[in-house]
């Protein structure tokens, strides 16, 4: 109970606790890698099935404290930016400050608070920074379900949120999930699959990164394949289409974090202005 209260006091939107057993995910993870869906992200292949073995990543870990932090900025100019081909569309998550630093600092604070009650205790925070299946852990912890676009969805908050974890070596009670048999609420909806500009969602719950605009504009070092260029439109850093179309995002919560609000006019900046940036401006 104290952990839950501390997490909320630190600004997290939700918290859940689960074990570290992800053995059920090993087969699907290996299949994804075998199909080369990771593209140039060689680190995905390098760590392999370690992603499904948190206890090997941090020896002695037996529980995961999983947290959610909403990031949807106020006055988000979704459709207007996409429709104006002179503007640059930048993914919502990238409009503010770097979420890795903000969340990691707060997770570290949460871990330190717990240590005041535990004489012998070890923890390690993660925010998209280690080979670990964050969404699967969050799903097990009751934070939502993995949707057909492969992102986590919460029935009360949509999917505009970041995830973070604390791996700990103390036997905390696991969060009890109500109505576990209907945890996945995507039903027959395939809106995210149909809306994807480059058909990157090759089947429900499976994304081929090599076709994903987020991968092409952020992760890949290669020239963008000609077949995808017109389909990308004015999306120059990431893509939100699968979230924009998701019916559950009508329940999305606006972020209360000032750091996640749009900075440097990035929510309505022109393509010409960004084309003129030098590397130091980008950095």
DSSP string, 101-152: HHHHHHHHHHHHHHHTT-SS--EEEESS-SS--HHHHHHHTTS-EE-TTSSE
CA distance linking residue 113 with residue 15, whole number of Å: 15
Active site residue 128: yes
Question: In 150-239, at which residue ranges do the beta strands (DSSP E only) sit?
Answer: 152-153, 161-168, 201-203, 206-207, 235-237
Closest CA relative to residue 23, chosen from 46, 53, 61: 53
How does DSSP classify residue 254?
A: B
Half-sphere exposure of residue 264: CA atoms within 13 angstroms, side-chain side: 14
3-class SS of residue 5:
helix
Helices (runs of H) and strands (runs of E) counted in the chain: 13, 10
The full length of the chain comes to 283
Assigned token pair, 17 = 């606790």
Assigned token pair, 193 = 């699959």
Question: In the chain, at which residue ranges do the beta strands (DSSP E only) sit?
Answer: 14-18, 63-70, 89-90, 123-126, 145-146, 152-153, 161-168, 201-203, 206-207, 235-237
Residue in 19, 21, 75, 128 annotated catalytic: 128
Q: Which residues are catalytic?
A: 128
């Amino acid at each position: 109970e104290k952990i839950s209260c501390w997490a909320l006091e630190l600004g997290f939107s939700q918290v859940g606790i689960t074990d570290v057993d992800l053995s059920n995910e090993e087969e699907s993870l290996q299949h994804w890698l075998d199909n080369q869906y990771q593209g140039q992200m060689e680190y995905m292949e390098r760590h392999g099935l370690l992603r499904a073995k948190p206890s090997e990543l941090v020896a002695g870990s037996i529980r995961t404290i999983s947290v959610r932090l909403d990031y949807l900025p106020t006055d988000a100019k979704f459709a207007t930016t996409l429709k104006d081909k002179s503007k640059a569309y930048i993914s919502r998550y990238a409009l503010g400050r770097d979420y890795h630093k903000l969340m990691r600092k707060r997770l570290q604070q949460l871990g330190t608070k717990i240590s005041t009650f535990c004489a012998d205790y070890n923890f390690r925070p993660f925010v998209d920074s280690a080979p670990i299946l964050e969404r699967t852990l969050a799903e097990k912890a009751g934070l939502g379900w993995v949707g057909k676009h492969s992102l986590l969805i919460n029935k009360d908050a949509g999917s505009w949120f970041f995830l973070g974890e604390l791996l700990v070596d103390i036997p905390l009670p696991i969060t009890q999930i109500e109505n576990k048999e209907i945890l996945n609420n995507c039903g027959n909806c395939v809106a995210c699959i149909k809306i994807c500009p480059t058909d990157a969602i090759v089947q429900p719950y499976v994304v081929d990164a090599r076709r994903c605009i987020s991968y092409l504009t952020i992760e890949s070092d290669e020239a963008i394949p000609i077949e995808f260029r017109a389909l990308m439109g004015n999306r120059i850093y990431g893509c939100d289409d699968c979230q924009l179309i998701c019916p559950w995002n009508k329940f999305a919560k606006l972020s209360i974090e000032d750091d996640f609000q749009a900075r440097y006019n990035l929510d309505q900046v022109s393509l010409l202005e960004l084309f003129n940036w030098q590397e130091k401006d980008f950095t």
